[in-house]
Amino acid sequence: MKDFNYQQLDDIIHSRIRLTIMSILVGVKSAEFTYIKDKVKATDGNLSIHLRKLESADYISMSKSFVNRKPVTTYKITNKGRKAFKLYISRLEKIING
């Protein structure tokens, strides 16, 4: 008998907004905060909370720099994050496809 053990789905990734952030970051080298915000259509505050949660898990990394004297915050997926995302997707597919 096949199991559908939902607890195998990584809860850090599974939130709708964090799954979306990870889906964006997995496809690019890095992305600025404003770029992610435009794509995700979230408020600054809400987006920040979820970026921090992904950062705490070491799934993404953040760096700050200055472009034309303006501060720019950039995010990218880590190796750990890439692995976790891949595992999440494969488990998700298993559950959905029964």
Residues that bind its own copies (CB under 8 A): 1-7, 9, 11, 14, 16-17, 19-20, 23-24, 26-27, 38-42, 89, 95-98
Q: Shortest distance, CB of residue 33 to its own copies, whole angstroms?
A: 15
Q: Shortest distance, CB of residue 69 to its own copies, whole angstroms?
A: 27
Nearer to its own copies, 26 or 62 (CB): 26
Nearer to its own copies, 66 or 94 (CB): 94
- Name the residue among 74, 82, 68 with its Cα closest to residue 13: 82
Q: Shortest distance, CB of residue 19 to its own copies, whole angstroms?
A: 7
* Dihedrals phi, psi of 23, to nearest 5 degrees: -65, -35
Distance separating alpha carbons of residues 60 and 74, to the nearest angstrom: 10
> How many CA atoms does the CB half-sphere of 37 hold within 13 Å?
12
CA–CA distances in Å: residue 19 to residues 11, 42, 64, 75: 10, 13, 23, 15
Q: Shortest distance, CB of residue 22 to its own copies, whole angstroms?
A: 9
